[in-house]
Amino acid sequence: MIKQLSQRLLGPVTLLCLALTFWLGLWVTPPDRVQGNLVRLLYVHPAVAWVALYVSFGTATIASILYLWKRTRSFTMDRIAHCAMEVSVVFIVLTLITGSIWGRPTWGVWWAWDARLTSTAILGVLAVGYLALRRANDDSTLRARRSAVFAILSAINVPIIHFSVQWWKTLHQGATVFTSNRQLLVHGSMAWTLLLSFVGFTLLFFWLLRARYRLEVLRESTQQMMLDEALLLRQREGVM
Amino acid sequence: MPSTETSELSPVAPPKSPSRSRWRSVGVLVVLGAAIIVLLSQGILHSLNYFETVDQALAQRSSLGTKVIRLEGVVKPGSISRTSNGASFVITGSKDRQVFVDAHGSPPQLFQADIPVVVVGHFTSSTSLDFEGTQILVKHTATYIAAHPKRVKAPNGTTR
């Protein structure tokens, strides 16, 4: 009952959170002292990056670990990892695009080869590589095992991205939310809107993941149905 | 007489061999490795540490010579003057160490006094503290404060 209700509410609640974020971000929150109205990208870019790096890539990694662990091994875990990685690719691309749009007027350039940007681009390549690796393997068990190992190895890049602004001197700003001294550097209504954007985009990820997962289950069952039909046809041919 | 459909007993293709999958996986990994090497080489070529601070540049002044570097410092208030081909200003490091910058090209939208900038360019001579810039990049901080705080006065006298 609760599960059904939460599944039904996921979409509307996501849309409500995102609509509220855009309303607050575009009309209610004040312009920033330095950045002026450019600050409104604060309600999109960090939340999208949060989902790309931690939520979606994290989901894919955890599902991959659970697949490799004998006790929890199932194709459901492999399917979750696959779907989460596909959604992750979308969010990584969005992270790079929104960051670039923000970078042009603030930094003065669309792109800089600093440690944060380079490592994020590498994560994008790794996520696409994961999907390519899946397509390269025909055997489902082999595919699940290889891609799980690859996802876990790729996840090493996530802490590198996170700490890159501390380990090296970058053009990208330091941490805004997860600062080393746990001090939020965003003031007033801007902070609440930022928090709401994190909730909205996280819910959007789970909504997309759920939709993609259902699609994958349908695709697999259709394939199985076609295979069964083909086998039946062969059997009939044999009889005749 | 058998129907056309049932009489088609063409042999089924054998299942693809695991070695073919292995080679395709190796191919994907090779392409992936090459892409990562290209990205990393770009990052490393442009240096992981994106810039030198004013303090670091002045400490290595003799070794830097007139080599092209990215120099980071805070724009000194009152030092900006627009020139015919760009802007000149002073950037400071800690302990009031200063470098005079003459930069060509239009500065970014956010360029202003008291903001951290990264200037691409070189010192004009091996001993000079004058820096000739070809590009100005603004390195904004992670602090976000309302542009006009305390502008509205509430009936109880507090501002918000």
- Give CA–CA dist A106/B19, Å, rounded: 51
Do the beta carbons of residue B120 and residue B50 sit within 8 Å?
A: no
pLDDT of B1 > 50? The answer is: no
∠ CA B112-A102-A206, nearest 5°, is: 145
Where is average pLDDT lowest: A43-52, B11-20, B35-44, B142-151?
B11-20
Query: Nearest C-alpha of chain A: how many angstroms from B1?
Result: 10
- What percent of chain A shows pLDDT beyond 70? 95
Comparing B76 with B12, the larger pLDDT belongs to: B76
- Give CA–CA dist B138/A26, Å, rounded: 24
Q: How many helices (H) and strands (E) does chain B have?
A: 4, 7
Task: List b or e across B143-159, with b for residues whose CB sees 16 or more CB atoms inside 10 angstroms.
Answer: bbebeeeeeeeeeeeee
The token pair at B106 is: 């239009």
CA proximity to A55, closest of A217, A177, A209: A209
pLDDT mean over A184-189:
77
- Give CA–CA dist A208/A205, Å, rounded: 5
Per residue in A96-130, pLDDT tens? 999 999 999 999 999 999 899 999 999 999 999 99
Q: Which residues of chain A does B32 touch, with a Cβ-Cβ cutoff of 8 Å?
A: 125-126, 129, 132
- The fold adopted by the segment(s) B52-138 is OB fold (Dihydrolipoamide Acetyltransferase, E2P) (2.40.50)
DSSP state string for B25-85: HHHHHHHHHHHHHHHHHHHHHT-SS--EEHHHHHHTHHHHTT--EEEEEEEPTT--EEETT
Comparing B18 with A84, the larger pLDDT belongs to: A84
- Give CA–CA dist B19/B9, Å, rounded: 28
To the nearest 10 degrees (0 to 180), the angle between helices A140-154 and A75-106 is 40
The predicted pLDDT at position B144 comes to 82
Contact B27 A129 (CB under 8 A): no
Contact B50 A142 (CB under 8 A): no
Domain boundaries, chain B: 17-48, 52-138
Global pTM reads: 0.85
Map residue B105 onto helix, strand or coil.
Answer: coil
Q: Which of residues 40-69 of A touch B (CB under 8 A)?
A: 42
CA proximity to B50, closest of A117, A214, A53, A103: A117
**Residue B160: pLDDT band with limits 50, 70, 90:** very low
DSSP A24: I
Nearest neighbour of B25 by CB, restricted to A34, A133, A185:
A133
Locus of tokens 């976000």:
B144
Contact A113 B28 (CB under 8 A): no
Chain A within 8 Å of B148 (Cβ-Cβ)? yes
Residue of chain B whose alpha carbon sits nearest to that of A137: B21
B86 phi and psi angles, rounded to 5 deg = 160, -125
**Residue A145: pLDDT band with limits 50, 70, 90:** very high
The token pair at B73 is: 């410092």
Report the DSSP beta bridge partners of residue B137.
B118
Nearest neighbour of A106 by CB, restricted to B31, B108, B118:
B108
- What percent of chain B shows pLDDT beyond 70? 78
